[in-house]
Structure 1
Amino acid sequence: MLHLIPAPLHRLAYRVAHALRKRWWQVRQPKISSVSVIATDLEDRLLLVRLTYGSGSWSLPSGGIGRGEEPEAAARREFREETGCEAGTLRFVGIQQDLLHGAHNSVHVYAAKVQGNPAADGREVMDARFFPLHSLPEPLSPFARRRLELWRGSPQE
């Protein structure tokens, strides 16, 4: 259904919706829950995405938890939607609290090993690729930096 809309129009719709959501959150200051996935491949490279809306920074695959959805299911769904890849075993890393455009956001952070090559859909995600951990791209979002600090400080399996 979504591919019936031309990609440039779809990207414009994402930017407009993002701007409206930011304004709404600034006024309402809701409590929201989301997920973020720190995914590495078999070579221990980190998978990052750049969205077609927002700051243009590289970030971790992330998104909202739907009403009645479990955080792990949301992490799998968002990861698949943003990268085209399936997450292997998800390991819960922790929860971080963020202020996101006025909204109080509880972010459930997961780590996963993935196989396969990510593919940006050209609509929500303009780029998705792996980077060596010692050479991450700039600009890297401050939220991604915080999640990576949490991950680096957690027991690795």
Structure 2
Amino acid sequence: MTPLRIAYIVAHRVRLFLRRAFQIKTRGVKAVVLRGREVLLIRHSYFATDRFMLPGGGVGRKETVLAAGIREAFEETGCRLDNVYVHGDFISNGEGFPDHITVIVGETRDDPMPDAGELLEARFFPLDALPDALTDASRRRVIEIRDGLPPSGEW
């Protein structure tokens, strides 16, 4: 295991501990990145390494959710987004603290180039052949968007 991966693991655990201990509300964004009839999914290097999920991260203090989603998708995968819009807003308490997550949708023509420190993998999957190892929340969002459904409200 590389020192950079160890640093990501430690930082993630400290962040989770503090957010749980002080019930810090967070503001995050997830990006559904489409390329034709494919969706971009990632695997992190520092948590849930066996699960695919949508790229995303935190929203900066003076940043819009669209700008944050575009930035996070690019930082994590190297993919630039066009035709970006908000799909919906969700609340998750799954990690032991309130997390407000906005899901955005955008299109790319780029091939993913995953951030080697943060990600183990970033690749496209056909919208009708999602991997079994996809997180439940990511699966719900992709299916909603694929099938033209409104946000369910459940993270």
Alignment size in residue pairs? 148
Cα distance in 2 for partners of 1:10, 1:126 equals 13
Percent identity for Structure 1 against Structure 2: 33
1 or 2, which has the higher strand percentage? 1
Q: Is the 8 A contact 1:30 1:102 kept in 2?
A: no
1:38-59: CA deviations, max 9, x gaps?
A: 11102x1110011101112100
Cα distance in 1 for partners of 2:17, 2:111 equals 35
Q: Is the 8 A contact 2:87 2:104 kept in 1?
A: yes
Alignment-derived partner of residue 85 in structure 1: 79
Gaps of 5+ in 2: none
TM-score by structure 2 length?
Answer: 0.88
Give the residue type in structure 2 aligned to 1:143: A
Query: Once the 2 structures are TM-superposed, how far is the Cα of residue 92 of structure 1 from its aligned partner?
Result: 1.1
Q: 1:30 aligned to 24, 35, 54, which one?
A: 24
Query: Once the 2 structures are TM-superposed, how far is the Cα of residue 138 of structure 1 from its aligned partner?
Result: 2.8
1:112-145: CA deviations, max 9, x gaps?
A: 1110100112110111000011211131112212
Alignment of 1:5-154 (within 5 A): 8-42=2-36, 44-56=37-49, 57-151=51-145, 152=147, 153-154=149-150
SS, match of residue 71 in structure 2: helix
Query: Once the 2 structures are TM-superposed, how far is the Cα of residue 148 of structure 1 from its aligned partner?
Result: 2.5
SS, match of residue 73 in structure 2: helix
Query: Once the 2 structures are TM-superposed, how far is the Cα of residue 149 of structure 1 from its aligned partner?
Result: 4.4
